[in-house]
Structure 1
Amino acid sequence: MFLETVIALLALSLSLLCRPWRMLGSRHGPGGMQQPVTSALLTPLLAVLVLLPWIWALPALHQMPLQLRWSAAPLVVLLLGWPLAVPVLLAVSAIAFGLAPALGLEETLGMLVWQGLMPATLAMLWGAAVRRWCWHNIFVFILLRGFLGTVLSVFLASLLGQWAGHVLPNVNDDLSRMARWLMAWSDGITTGMLTAVFVVFRPQWMATWSDAIYLVPPHHPEG
């Protein structure tokens, strides 16, 4: 529990240093309009706070043989950015604990770190590497960041959590790794599909997306 507390406090401190609340502040409308416009990120933020706690709390609300939860943390990072995703995931874990007190404080903290903060941080680092070393293209964004990045981030974070002692009850290590691998693919497929939908129909809901970077073809000077 000490390790999870340190990781959570460190992630929260770093995120607050980035002042993520600025992303939700009002801004002036286009064309010099003085009327403030509410940030479009409020919609995905509220959706995450309403839906994700139920998903995280679901295994504790029912007797399930495998206590596996859908993470969705990489999707939250794609929608809100890492600095804003950290306090939001903290709020999600608190709401999930309120919905299912049977989770217990220790399990809730482990869920926050290994199911939320760790895959979110790994997804952020993966996204930075993809943006730095891969060509900028909409399909690269969807496939590498939305799909593959989610699979790798969720699976690696779950393995780290298992190494830290958060094991599945009555399940051996080999079966546990297999179950976590399959859940990571489920997470990746869902995140990849939603990323494709949002990029096409609601790009303003994704803080990590930029038309100028991923849609405008690179300029090659003549001569």
Structure 2
Amino acid sequence: MAWVQWLPAGVAVAVLAAAARRLPWYKLRGDAEAQRVLGIATAALILMRGFNTHGLGGAHLNFTCAVIATLMFGPRFALWALAAASLTASFFGQAWIGFGPDFIATALLPVLCSLGLSRAAERWLPPHLLIYVMVQAFLGGALAMLVCNLFKAAVAAWLDVGSAGAYLIATPLMMFGEGFLSGGTMALVVVYRPQWCASFDDARYLPPPR
């Protein structure tokens, strides 16, 4: 069933093309530090994909770090950085099913999840540093992993490849791991290098004392 790979690949190309039309290049123009941070982060995302496992019932499990990328660089740059990770994983035979399905599972859906949660938190919750770290980063990472693995489980069940149950079994532990990784990373970033984080506003989350 070649369409299982080619149809999602078409979706991935369309999403990336739409994201490319409004990439905020002005944030990188003339800023060597921002360019370096984005490059290093993209390389880290690619390296993280090397920590895949096929050991649980044939399931293809990996952390996505999509929430970290979205909070630090915004959804459009995050999609492209994660696409580089999926494409590299596909080249080395480590992508789930293929580039297109892998991009949807580990990039598109988690980024949309992160974006939706962040907007809800900014609208409905008080602007507090702890809420930013615990809700947008930690909870966001956990929910992104949930969405990723549920999508993989649904596709595995639909294709009848026998690994759907393994994704469901692994999901709770992976949710905590992804949440801890996202929350811990963003806590360090906003404390030591807040200028690296596109979604963090000092005036909002660190108001001057009255």
Instruction: State the TM-score, normalized to the length of structure 1.
Output: 0.79
- CA shift digits 1:81-104 (9 cap, x unpaired): 101111111122222333x2x347
Q: Does 1:157 align with 2:161?
A: no
Aligned to 1:216: 207
Q: Distance in 1 between matches of 2:160 and 2:201?
A: 39
Partner residue of 2:21 out of 11, 17, 27? 17
> Which residue of the partner structure matches residue 137 of structure 1?
128
The alpha carbon displacement at 1:128 in A equals 0.9
Aligned equivalents of 1:168 and 1:57: distance in 2? Answer: 26
Q: 1:44 aligns with which of 37, 54, 68?
A: 37
Asked if structure 2 preserves the Cα contact closer than 8 Å seen for 1:147 and 1:188, the reply is yes
RMSD: 2.6
Give the 3 Å change call, closer, same or farther, for CA 111–202 of structure 1 in structure 2.
same
8 Å contact from structure 1 (residues 168, 176) kept in 2: no
- 2:67 touches 2:144 (CA, 8 Å); kept in 1? yes
Distance across 2 between alignment mates of 1:168 and 1:214: 47
Cα distance, 1:162 vs structure 2: 2.3
Q: List gaps (5 residues or longer) in structure 2.
A: none
Q: Is contact 1:41–1:207 with CA below 8 Å preserved after alignment?
A: no
Pair 1:188 & 2:179 matched: yes
Structure showing greater Rg? 1
1:70 equivalenced with 2:63 (yes/no): yes
Matching residue within 87, 100, 109 for 1:94: 87
SS at 2:52 equivalent: helix
Give the number of equivalent residue pairs: 203
Deviation at 1:58, TM superposition (A): 3.5
Q: Distance in 1 between matches of 2:163 and 2:122?
A: 38
TM-score by length of 2: 0.84
Q: Please give the per-residue CA displacement for 1:103-143, whole angstroms capped at 9, x wherever unaligned.
A: 47942322221012210111011111111111111111001
* 1:7 pairs with one of 4, 11, 31: 11
1:23 deviates by 2.1
Kept in 2, the 8 Å contact 1:149–1:188? The answer is: yes
Q: 1:178 to 1:8 in 2, by over 3 A?
A: same
Kindly report structure 1 stretches of 4+ aligned residues shifted beyond 4 Å: 166-170
Task: Identify which of 105, 109, 116 aligns with 1:118.
Answer: 109
